[in-house]
Chain A
Amino acid sequence: MTKNLKHLFDPHSVAFIGATDRPRSVGLGIVNNLLIGSKQRKIYFVNPYQKKVKGISTYSSVLDISEKVDLVIIAVPGESVLEAARQCVQKKVGAVIIISSGFAEIGKKGKERQKKLLEIFQSTQIPLLGPNCLGIIRPKSHLNASFAPAMPKVGEIAFISQSGAILNSVIDYSTKYNYGFSYLISSGNEADLSITDFIRYLGDREDVKVIAIYVEGISQGREFMDIAKKVSNHKPIIALKAGQTERGRQMAFLHTASLAGSAQIYRAAFKQSGVKLVSTLEEMLDAVRVLAWKPRIANGIGIVSNAGGMMVLATDYSERAGIKIPSLSLLTKRKLKKAKVFSPSVLFNNPFDVLGDASPERYKVVLESLLSQKNINGLIVMQTMQINTEVYQNAKVIIEAQRKWPQKPIISTCLPGEISASGLALLQKNHIPNYPDPDRAIKAMKALLIN
């Protein structure tokens, strides 16, 4: 039975049980975040002990609100959550987020409490997020039903995390690199709604181009696989799985029948359901950013560099990743020759060495020639800081080329420093991702490949 998540993600009214203006409290954080969207929706604060919060009159119970309430956020101490939840059920609200901790994560007593909580919602259709979570964020509609420290930018990435703290850092990091999200979901203890429910929902959303999940454990494995398989058919899912190294337990499988460690089972499950498993947070963020910004392509790319060393590295990484680097066609070579930006002795190959003294004009000729070759579907453009490398001007060249060939993603590789800063910022602004290391650039390109 699938619950309707509309009221959770697109509420017209939100009530917050536990609203307070006590400095440095989680409650105040949520109050401030909710007020960001006060023009978009009606906000109600519930606090029986405080008449006003931030100058806004409070209600002593959610039951005292006469209007319909779509979403309720509960952040009160563990033992009072149950009563607040009962009132939500009585009020017939549309969805509930429980921020409070003190449930299954604290052991036996908490598990008991979580069981009682589920009983309260059992016979209802009210979707429950949490408990023990950070909340949700929808930047586009200014919905920040969380205690995250900042509002991320608007974008097309959906991020579901079983760790709230990781979300917080991701928000900060993403802002610096100019990419944004359509959904940020901290799923907490997953007493009711789980990663699987969210993947199912996000699979149909038009403002989601890629789904990233940070997973510690999945409770209904088979259902997860079925849903993920369906969604990953048309939308990439990137997973970061924590708890991969129980090596000791792993596999004395045949010998002593102490069976396979769960790490491999997860790996198999992800593989069979089309979910791409990454090994670091950085790799995950690199992949989602490029997937949000760029179209997916068939295998076959060009590599352009003003340094032989970088080119060799990139070639190694491409080989390892199974990325094809097609040779240049006669037509492409003819174009390059005709442009007269190289001395006649220069060899034209892919990967392409534009040489250390490359001018923006030379980069332009090479980029355009390579991009017009049919089986080159994307480009990695590398710059090292030679005495006459004009990163800012080159950035303009790259942006212009990308505009001309929007279906062929360009990824920049340049170790960022003082000289390159302004040029790389310009690229970022224009949704050309830059990676300091060719390995990261190749992995990002790999994420774009349609198998």
Chain B
Amino acid sequence: MKKQLTFSESQDLLCRYNIPVIPSRIFKTEKVGQSLFSKMEKPVVLKLVSPQISHRTERGLVCLNIEKKAEFQEAYRELKQIAEKEKIAGDFLLQEMRTGIELGIGAKRDIQFGPVIMFGLGGIFIEVMKDVSFRIAPFSRREALSMIKEIKGYPLLKGFRGGFSVKLEKLEKILVGLSSLMIENPAIQEMDLNPVIAQGTRVEAVDVKIIVNDEKS
């Protein structure tokens, strides 16, 4: 049987391989949420997380750009109502909001070659342009760099026309970390870090999906 790890399980796992996740807090009640909210860098994003749901944005389960306490309350109540109406069992997630270049990083297990890591720019670049590169794990930082440079959108990472740029060493380390993670955790079938938001030395996963083979079943 396959199952998806929860957000906190995923976060812990990524942390062990030095793959940064954007500062995130999980909670259930409005009261706890409010106290967490007051301690975070603004603006933040509020999401409903549950292994039951995938296309969160399309279903209105994400509230962006929350700056003030009143905005938080309003967003919380709105999501809570939707969750109750649609019978979604889940937690709330507060995440700091970032701007930068959207990237997509993934991994899968191939029958012939074992763990394969994928890298690309996020959003439409992956879905429409299919601008991605692959490497068989494990690999070195040098191989990771060649993987980054292989995509057509590579110049965008260098700060095209005054846009955001990305510290490539950071990205290399994440790719190599993911490659080790896949080698050392054979139960993991596939992973999806999408989006990963990158600006300068800050390269952080925003959304994580990890599918494992559940040994118990």
How many cross-chain pairs have Cβ atoms below 8 Å apart between A and B? Answer: 72
Residue B33 interfacial (CB < 8 Å): no
| Contact indicator B110/A251 (Cβ below 8 Å) | no
- Scan residues 215-250 of chain A and give those whose CB is less than 8 A from a CB of chain B: 217-222, 225, 250
| Contact indicator B209/A257 (Cβ below 8 Å) | yes
Nearest-neighbour CB distance to chain A for B86, whole angstroms, equals 21
Residue A253 interfacial (CB < 8 Å): yes
| Contact indicator B190/A255 (Cβ below 8 Å) | no
| Contact indicator A253/B106 (Cβ below 8 Å) | yes
Question: CB-nearest residue of chain A relative to B130?
Answer: A251
Q: Which of B5-13, B35-43, B132-140, B155-163 interfaces with chain A?
A: B132-140
Q: Which residues of A contact B130 (CB under 8 A)?
A: 250-251
| Contact indicator B139/A272 (Cβ below 8 Å) | yes
| Contact indicator A268/B209 (Cβ below 8 Å) | no
Interface residues of B, count at CB 8 A = 26
A11 to B4, CA, bound (A): 57
Residue B170 interfacial (CB < 8 Å): no
Q: Which residues of A contact B127 (CB under 8 A)?
A: 252, 254-255
Nearest-neighbour CB distance to chain A for B215, whole angstroms, equals 21
Residue A40 interfacial (CB < 8 Å): no
| Contact indicator A222/B126 (Cβ below 8 Å) | no
Nearest-neighbour CB distance to chain A for B31, whole angstroms, equals 36
| Contact indicator A264/B114 (Cβ below 8 Å) | no
| Contact indicator A272/B110 (Cβ below 8 Å) | no
Question: CB-nearest residue of chain A relative to B191?
Answer: A257
| Contact indicator A219/B134 (Cβ below 8 Å) | no
Known: A254-B192, A257-B190. A225 touches B134 (CB 8 A): no
| Contact indicator A257/B134 (Cβ below 8 Å) | no
| Contact indicator A221/B126 (Cβ below 8 Å) | no
| Contact indicator A265/B113 (Cβ below 8 Å) | yes
| Contact indicator B110/A262 (Cβ below 8 Å) | yes
Known: A252-B127, A254-B106. A268 touches B135 (CB 8 A): yes
Q: Which residues of B contact A250 (CB under 8 A)?
A: 130
Q: Which residues of A contact B178 (CB under 8 A)?
A: none
Known: A253-B118, A265-B113. A272 touches B126 (CB 8 A): no
Question: CB-nearest residue of chain B relative to A247?
Answer: B130
A265 to B133, CA, bound (A): 9
Within 8 Å by CB of A264, from B126, B134, B211, lies B134
| Contact indicator A267/B106 (Cβ below 8 Å) | no
Q: Which residues of B contact A260 (CB under 8 A)?
A: 108, 116, 118, 132, 134
A21 to B177, CA, bound (A): 63
A217 to B112, CA, bound (A): 9
| Contact indicator A265/B116 (Cβ below 8 Å) | yes
| Contact indicator B116/A251 (Cβ below 8 Å) | no
Interface size class of A (residues with CB under 8 A): 20 to 34
Known: A252-B127, A265-B116. A221 touches B110 (CB 8 A): yes
| Contact indicator B112/A220 (Cβ below 8 Å) | yes
| Contact indicator B136/A268 (Cβ below 8 Å) | yes
Q: Which residues of B contact A268 (CB under 8 A)?
A: 116, 133-136
Question: CB-nearest residue of chain A relative to B195?
Answer: A254
Residue A269 interfacial (CB < 8 Å): yes
Q: Which residues of A contact B135 (CB under 8 A)?
A: 268, 272
| Contact indicator A251/B126 (Cβ below 8 Å) | yes
- Scan residues 267-300 of chain A and give those whose CB is less than 8 A from a CB of chain B: 267-269, 272
Q: Which residues of A contact B91 (CB under 8 A)?
A: none
Nearest-neighbour CB distance to chain A for B152, whole angstroms, equals 14
Known: A221-B113, A252-B127. A259 touches B132 (CB 8 A): no
| Contact indicator B143/A218 (Cβ below 8 Å) | no
Residue B24 interfacial (CB < 8 Å): no
A252 to B113, CA, bound (A): 20
A221 to B109, CA, bound (A): 12
Nearest-neighbour CB distance to chain A for B91, whole angstroms, equals 22
Q: Which residues of B contact A265 (CB under 8 A)?
A: 110, 112-113, 116, 134, 136
> 13 interchain pairs (CB within 8 A)?
A219-B112, A221-B114, A253-B108, A253-B132, A255-B127, A262-B110, A264-B132, A265-B113, A268-B116, A268-B134, A268-B136, A269-B136, A272-B136
Which residue numbers of B lie inside 8 Å of A, CB to CB? Answer: 104, 106, 108, 110, 112-114, 116, 118, 120, 122, 126-127, 130, 132-136, 139, 143, 190, 192, 194, 209, 211
Which residue numbers of A lie inside 8 Å of B, CB to CB? Answer: 217-222, 225, 250-255, 257, 259-260, 262, 264-265, 267-269, 272
